């Protein structure tokens, strides 16, 4: 009993942890409360309660177009990143490529480099290659910044994999691809879900890279929010931010309950 009590955190540590969590969540709470205000400007606490700003967002063609563009980029970049990231992680794990550690560091570079630097570099490259302002170029840029999340989570999953299981499947007659698809892939699925989620959220929420490459006739939801804040804040910005927070929270909660993906991030 004494050992169990010694392992329990003290009230000071608990209070500190609670304070830190509350401080981190305070901006989220402020945004959510502001979305329900009846005034035409942001005010905390809200002056009355209304859902009108949510209706305005969901009926505004500019917001709907931006949401559609963001979802196209997020879904497309996530799918491509999954294919490329899993292939790269598997090759690196099996060490079929020379200089695996150097390649891994190269693939992880977008995680440590400032996003503005990546955006400026891609802007210069796209200006020379003629890809600036194109959907394909923007999709490729999002793949660049999302692939590292898939590679990282896939490598984390593969590190706990017993290769003997895959070898057993091959001994029993499965081809290399069949063994990977039927044995290895289901075993690393939770890690891939984690990588896919973080890739999707990163793409959906990206501003520093997107704002350099997007054309005048296109916009994504984060860029539209950024532009709206520059011109003046009204509760519609808080409303669309609240919808993003809610959607992200639900997806993460369901994924955690289904796959327990926190082990791979």
Q: By the 8 A CB rule, do 69 and 219 touch?
A: yes
**Percent share of the chain, pLDDT over 90:** 7
Return mean pLDDT, the chain: 80
SS3 category, 215? coil
What is the average per-residue pLDDT within 3-31?
Answer: 74
Q: Flag whether pLDDT at 165 surpasses 70.
A: yes
Check residues 257 and 113 and name the one with the higher pLDDT.
113
Check residue 1 and give its pLDDT: 44
Residue showing tokens 């009926």: 59
Please determine, for residue 164, whether its predicted confidence score (pLDDT) is greater than 80. Answer: no
CA-closest candidate to residue 225, choices 111, 57, 47: 57
Helix (H, G, I), strand (E, B) or coil at 181: helix
Q: Which long-range contacts (CB under 8 A, 24 or more apart) does 240-243 make?
A: 240/57, 240/63, 241/31, 241/35, 242/31, 242/32, 242/35, 242/54, 243/54, 243/57
Q: How far is CA 155 from CA 81, 85, 231, in A?
A: 14, 9, 44
- The pLDDT score that the predictor gives to residue 43 is 67
Contacts of 166 (CB under 8 A, 6+ apart): 179, 180, 183, 184
Confidence band of 2 (pLDDT split at 50, 70, 90): very low
pLDDT digits (tens, 9 = 90+) for 210-237: 888 887 778 888 888 887 776 666 778 8
Does the pLDDT at position 151 exceed 70? yes
Q: Which one has a higher pLDDT value, 144 or 51?
A: 144
What pLDDT score does 8 carry? Answer: 61
Give the angle subtended at the CA of 68 by the CAs of 67 and 69, to the nearest 5°.
90
**CA atoms of 238 and 166, how far apart (whole Å):** 50
Name the DSSP letter for residue 173: T
The distance from CA 229 to its chain's CA centroid, rounded to whole angstroms, is 22
Instruction: Evaluate if residue 79 carries a pLDDT over 90.
Output: yes
Q: What pLDDT does 249 receive?
A: 79
- Banded model confidence at residue 83, pLDDT cuts 50, 70, 90: very high
Q: How far apart are the first and last CA of the chain?
A: 34
- Pick from 61-75, 152-166, 247-261 the range whose average pLDDT is largest: 61-75
Cβ atoms of residues 153 and 195 within 8 Å: yes
- Domain-by-domain residue ranges, the chain? 57-264
What is the predicted pLDDT for the residue at 182? 79
What is residue 234's three-state secondary structure? coil
pLDDT confidence of residue 54: 83
Q: How far apart are CA 66 and CA 84, in angstroms?
A: 27
How many other C-beta atoms lie within 10 A of the C-beta of residue 27? 10
Supply the DSSP string of 52-101, one letter for each residue.
HHHHHHHH-HHHHHHHHHHHHHHHHHHHHHHHHHHHHHHHHHHT-STTHH
Q: Which CATH number fits domain 57-264: 1.10.3720.10, 4.10.140.10, 1.10.1470.10, 1.10.1240.10?
A: 1.10.3720.10
What is the DSSP track for 92-115? Answer: HHHT-STTHHHHHHHHHHHHHS-H
80 pLDDT higher than 90: yes
């Amino acid at each position: 009993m004494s050992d169990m009590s010694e392992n329990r955190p003290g009230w000071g540590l608990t209070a500190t942890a609670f304070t830190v969590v509350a401080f981190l969540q305070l901006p989220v709470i402020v945004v959510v409360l502001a979305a329900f205000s009846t005034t035409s400007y942001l005010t905390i606490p809200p002056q009355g309660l209304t859902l009108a700003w949510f209706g305005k967002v969901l009926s505004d063609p500019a917001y709907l177009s931006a949401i559609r563009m963001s979802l196209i980029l997020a879904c497309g970049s996530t799918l491509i990143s999954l294919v490329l990231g899993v292939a790269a992680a598997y090759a690196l794990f099996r060490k079929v490529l020379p200089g695996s550690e150097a390649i891994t560091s190269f693939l992880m570079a977008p995680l440590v480099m400032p996003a503005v630097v990546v955006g400026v570099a891609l802007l210069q490259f796209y200006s020379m290659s003629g890809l600036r302002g194109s959907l394909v170029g923007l999709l490729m840029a999002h793949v660049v910044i999302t692939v590292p999340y898939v590679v990282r989570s896939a490598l984390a999953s593969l590190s706990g994999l017993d290769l003997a299981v895959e070898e057993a499947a091959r001994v029993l007659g499965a081809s290399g691809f069949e063994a990977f698809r039927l044995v290895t892939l289901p075993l690393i699925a939770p890690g891939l879900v984690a990588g896919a989620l973080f890739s999707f959220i990163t793409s959906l929420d990206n501003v520093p890279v997107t704002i350099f490459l997007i054309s005048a006739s296109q916009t994504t939801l984060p860029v539209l929010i950024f532009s709206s804040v520059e011109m003046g804040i009204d509760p519609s910005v808080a409303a669309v931010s609240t919808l993003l927070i809610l959607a992200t929270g639900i997806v993460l909660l369901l994924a955690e309950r289904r796959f327990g993906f926190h082990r791979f991030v």
